Amino acid sequence: MEVNNYVNALNEAIEALKQLPISSRLIKATHQQLLKNVRGEYKMPGEFRTSQNWMEGILKEVSNQNRNRIFVFESYLKIFGED
């Protein structure tokens, strides 16, 4: 089912790009299609996260409490230099 959703979401997004720019509206609609009738379908389909997303095992020299954790968005800003 997940694979079908990926195919359908991609096809719908490609079709929508004929009339819409890449936008939050398009991203949310595509995400909603991805989660239709699959595991995670009740986890805010078609919405952006409102909580932080952490990745483990990236940093080596941080405090013991936050060891090996980094906030993904902050890393993105550092890499791409956007404010």
Beta-carbon count within 10 A of 33 CB:
19
Sequence-ordered list of residues with C-beta below 8 angstroms from that of 5, at least 6 positions apart, any chain: 33, 34, 35, 36, 37, 38
- How many residues are there in the chain? 83
pLDDT at 9 exceeding the cut of 50: yes
Check residues 45 and 69 and name the one with the higher pLDDT.
45
Q: Domain spans of the chain?
A: 1-49, 52-83
* Percent of the chain residues topping a pLDDT of 70: 63
Q: What is the pLDDT of residues 26-58, one digit of tens each?
A: 999 999 999 899 887 888 888 887 777 665 555
